[in-house]
Amino acid sequence: MSLLLVRKSASAEAWVDALAIAAPDLAVHVWPETGPVEDVEFILAWVPERGLVASFPNLKAVFSLGAGVDHLIMDPTLPADLPVVRMIDPSLTVGMAQYLTLATLRYHRALPQLQAQQGDHVWAGVPTGSGRVGIMGLGELGLRFAEVARALGFDVYGWTRRPREVEGVTTFAGPDGLAPFLSRCDILVCLLPLTAATHAILNATLFAQLPRGACLIHAGRGEHLVEDDLLAALANGQLAGATIDVFVEEPLPRAHPFWDHPQILITPHIASATSPRTAAQGVAENIARVRSNLPPKGLVDRSAGY
């Protein structure tokens, strides 16, 4: 029995090496080489082509190479009863906290204004932000960033689907909790999974509920954001700035208006990344759990979509 690694854009070598250490008895094939299709028990994938997963008759689970699973579950051919497992990797979690801290402090300490002043040779103080940061999504990644933001002295607000109590974080949940949550967010961080309920959630109606002059940091998925609504909110001053890591079309087309926008900082979907070195052990443990009929850690609730 084997695991098939499906990774289009980067070298699979690091994963093969890490799995050889974490699961020495596991046969690993790298797509498009599969070995006998009936032997493939697990797939570990990032954006496999539609229909690929469904073509293996004896699959026990499909593992996402990333925290997001939208690229897997949006495939209509995916068998309804196939367990889908998201990635939980300590390096991914820490990397995201670092990225969000960097972006949050940049706004809080007014680095864009200071850079502009330097360009004009202006020596002048700038006010520090209010220190209120709101996180949409308090999951594996959002919770860790919430801890870091608290430790840095921010007032931290969180919005989730189901009510949650998180020490030191003022939490809101569900559609009714969204407006009171947004009204407190001078810096809004989006770390939601992409689901039917969160598609296009970052839109004009949402921006209008933020304090005027708020900043957006978006590291969820491109399809969360209505790009024209962001441009309009920046133009009318409702938003002061946006840091965007994920886009509807990736790589971002060279002619896209975001590239040259003075209030938008673009990063090329690098907010964080899974590290095979630290993630392979978790994959190996989940394989053992599935083989023992135990639920894998990070099992996706297919009805919720994450």
CB of 41 or CB of 245, closer to ligand NDP: 245
Closest distance of CB 128 from ligand OXD, Å: 31
Compute the least distance from the CB of residue 147 to ligand OXD, in Å.
19
Q: How far apart are CA 65 and CA 87, in angstroms?
A: 6
Which one-letter DSSP state was computed for residue 222? Answer: G
Q: In Å, how far are 55, 210, 242 from 239, measured between CA atoms?
A: 46, 8, 8
Helix (H) or strand (E) holding 173: strand 169-173
* 7, two tokens: 């990774």
Q: How many residues bind ligand NDP (CB under 6 A)?
A: 32
CB nearer to ligand OXD: give 169 or 246. Answer: 246
Residue selected from 239, 272, 279, 290 as contacting ligand NDP according to rule CB under 6 A: 272
**211, 186 Cβ separation under 8 angstroms:** yes
Q: How far is the CB of 193 from ligand OXD (least distance, A)?
A: 8
Choose between 91 and 117: whose C-beta lies nearer to ligand NDP. Answer: 91
Q: Show Cβ contacts of residue 61 under 8 Å, excluding neighbours closer than 6 positions.
A: 42, 43, 82, 83, 84, 85, 286, 290, 296
Residue 166 contacts ligand NDP per CB under 6 A: no
User: Per CB under 6 A, which region of 47-55, 185-193, 231-239, 280-288 contacts ligand NDP?
Assistant: 185-193
221 is an active site residue: yes
CB 224 within 8 A of CB 192: yes
Residue 306 partner contact from ligand OXD, ligand NDP, none using kind-dependent CB cut-offs of 5 to 8 Å: ligand NDP
Report the residue number, 93 or 160, with the smaller CB distance to ligand OXD.
Answer: 93
Positions that interact with ligand OXD (CB under 6 A):
66-68, 87, 273-274
Q: Of 98-137, which residues contact ligand NDP (CB under 6 A)?
A: 137
Q: Is 221 in the site for ligand NDP (CB under 6 A)?
A: yes
Strand partners, 63: 44, 85
Q: How far from 202 is each of 29, 112, 126, CA to CA, in Å?
A: 39, 23, 29
Assign 211 to helix, strand or coil.
coil
Sign of CA dihedral 102, 108, 114, 115: positive
Catalytic site includes residue 144 = no
Active site residues: 221, 269
Enumerate binding residues for ligand NDP (CB under 6 A). Answer: 66-68, 92, 96, 137-142, 159-162, 164, 191-195, 197-198, 219-221, 245-246, 269, 271-272, 306
